[in-house]
Amino acid sequence: MSSGIGLAAMLSALPPASQALVEKIRAEARAKGKALYLVGGPVRDILLDRPIRDVDLLVVPGTGVADLARKTAPASARVVEFRRFGTARVEAGEWQ
């Protein structure tokens, strides 16, 4: 089932402060031959035609997501790793 939403539309719907980081993570994942999925709240908000307030989760299967976040996040950002769940959160200014 396809919603007909293209990648460019999804990226442009993201909060401006997170667009560049998502693009960097996407490029790094692609360079490593890894898949990248946008899931959670942003997908819900896009499908419901609501403004996206946060980027809930980016999943890169088989990759150390915290390492990927550290490599791509701005130097001023803080990466919080949740090893138990294999997840990480990037905090930079007012967005996460």
Flag whether pLDDT at 26 surpasses 70: yes
Query: What pLDDT score was predicted for residue 1?
Result: 42
How many CA atoms lie within 13 Å of 49's alpha carbon, on the beta-carbon side?
Answer: 1
Find tokens 């946008």 and name the residue. 38
C-alpha 41 chain-centroid distance: 11
Query: What pLDDT score was predicted for residue 94?
Result: 60
pTM, full prediction: 0.61
Contact 79, 66 (CB under 8 A): yes
Name the least confident of 15-19, 49-53, 58-62. 58-62
d(CA 64, CA 43): 23
